[in-house]
Structure 1
Amino acid sequence: MAAARDIAVQHGWVHRSCLMSAAAAGADDDDIMLHAIEDAAATDTTWSPLATVAPAIALASAAWIARTDWAARGYVAAVDRRDLAQILPGVIAEWSHATRLATIDRLGATFGTAPVAALLSGLRNVLEVAIGTHDDPALLAAEAHRIAGLAGTLGFAALGRHWLRVAEGGSAPSAATRRATAHAFATLDRAGVATS
């Protein structure tokens, strides 16, 4: 966590260190939680990223990342501790409402606010349909592919990757996909995108 704190200072991120249980109790979806996982305690179940509404990112060894279904555990991303300086800033940006809202503003300035608003409304609608579609794998896969493409176009790349896993795996959304979707809804709320 010391390396993550150094990166936070370097980038000017507002941050705090605390016990995971305390962090989960006080977190909201504007927070991004970093959870350092030590391989010796990799089977510890005293804390789950599902305990908070904030996106949780696992900071772990490459070996832990390779052998663990971190998305099923509720982590929205997993970052190799050896590559924190190179990878963590980009991962944090992917889960920042402000970064995605800035992307939406740039898209609106380039293509017009009405067309971008229509695409964002379409994204919200397909997310709502997909979250409720578990009994038809073919329909879910089609919706997941649509979400992945639309999300990537609109600056929700991490969300798109989660839904692409659903499309390619032919399974119900993981805990992390559900969290990524809830987080996307929160960004869309901030952008003023209503349900149609």
Structure 2
Amino acid sequence: MNLSTILVGGAAEGDRRFVRDVLSGADWHVIETHEEASLLVQAQRHRPDLILLDERLGAGIANAVGAVRAAGRPARSTPILIFTQAASAGEDFFLIGFDGRIAKPATAEALVAALALWRPVGELTDAHRLIETFGEAAIVPLIARFRRQLTDALNGLGTTLSPDELHRIAGVAGTLGFGRISASWDRLSQGDAVSAPDARREARLTLAQIDRDPRFAVSQ
């Protein structure tokens, strides 16, 4: 089985050892960084599938996340979670650029289950099929435009998007073969607030896959 790569930043030695031991036995390749300043370098060097930052980074955590989000592809779209004792992530965490939270203290089983949701998924399969049918010249620009729309929508999720805008993203996603996004964003457009974490996760995972695909690099 191919290992998924996770970059863990800022955790205390005990937490790092716990995460390393648990995830190494659950098909994750664990990379560690101890300082905010080295996070972007490690993200660009190792191209992790997921970044988990400990709240111990404190005030520097916003700078660390901001640097990744402002970077080039594929680092910019890497899912980033916060490891925290806070009761909930809240919109402030999302505005910084986080995609979700892992609660402390976490059992080994809970940690593995939570991070399993963030493994890469095969959302580009149908988009590739469209390319084979209609050609790159026709489809690649549509995917690039969808990527920009989805990025803007993800940034506005939970704050500024209307049901019509949510439904529009769901429709475009469905047309281009992104079924998981289409389903979760359609539920959200109908007022199912419970589906918001799924919508956020599916959007971020798809953006990460688009940014990693060389066929879409020339249009970004």
Hey, what does 1:126 align to over in structure 2?
146
Q: Tell me the secondary structure at the aligned position of residue 14 of structure 1.
A: strand
Determine the C-alpha separation between the residues in 1 that align with 2:59 and 2:102.
19
Hey, what does 1:35 align to over in structure 2?
53
Q: Contact between 2:82 and 2:98, CA under 8 Å: does it hold in 1? A: yes
User: Cα–Cα, structure 1 residues 20 and 34, in superposed 2: closer, same or farther, change >3 Å?
Assistant: farther
Determine the C-alpha separation between the residues in 1 that align with 2:218 and 2:180.
17
Q: How many residues align?
A: 166
Hey, what does 1:90 align to over in structure 2?
117
Hey, what does 1:13 align to over in structure 2?
28
User: Cα–Cα, structure 1 residues 190 and 76, in superposed 2: closer, same or farther, change >3 Å?
Assistant: farther
Q: Contact between 2:55 and 2:83, CA under 8 Å: does it hold in 1? A: yes
Determine the C-alpha separation between the residues in 1 that align with 2:171 and 2:22.
31
Hey, what does 2:81 align to over in structure 1?
57
| TM-score scaled by length of structure 2 | 0.53
> Which AA in structure 2 matches 1:19?
H
* RMSD (Å) for aligned C-alpha atoms: 4.6
Determine the C-alpha separation between the residues in 1 that align with 2:113 and 2:152.
37
Q: Contact between 1:20 and 1:47, CA under 8 Å: does it hold in 2? A: no
**Identity rate of aligned residues, in percent?**
16
> Which AA in structure 2 matches 1:90?
L
- Give CA-to-partner distance per residue, 1:45-79, whole Å, 9 cap, x none: 123211223432112236042x4521101112222
Determine the C-alpha separation between the residues in 1 that align with 2:130 and 2:147.
23
Hey, what does 1:172 align to over in structure 2?
none
> Which AA in structure 1 matches 2:41?
A
Determine the C-alpha separation between the residues in 2 that align with 1:115 and 1:73.
39
C-alpha displacement of 1:146: 2.6
Determine the C-alpha separation between the residues in 1 that align with 2:165 and 2:87.
32
Hey, what does 1:186 align to over in structure 2?
211
Where in structure 2 are there 5+ consecutive unaligned residues? 1-15, 69-75, 156-160, 194-199
Q: Contact between 2:53 and 2:80, CA under 8 Å: does it hold in 1? A: yes
Hey, what does 1:173 align to over in structure 2?
none
Hey, what does 1:45 align to over in structure 2?
59
> Which AA in structure 1 matches 2:39?
A
Q: Contact between 1:56 and 1:76, CA under 8 Å: does it hold in 2? A: yes
Q: Which moved more, 1:78-87 or 1:123-132?
A: 123-132
Q: Tell me the secondary structure at the aligned position of residue 146 of structure 2.
A: helix
Q: Contact between 1:127 and 1:147, CA under 8 Å: does it hold in 2? A: no
- The equivalent position to 2:98 in structure 1, one of 51, 75, 88, is 75
Hey, what does 2:73 align to over in structure 1?
none
Where in structure 1 are there 5+ consecutive unaligned residues? 135-139, 170-175
Hey, what does 1:23 align to over in structure 2?
39
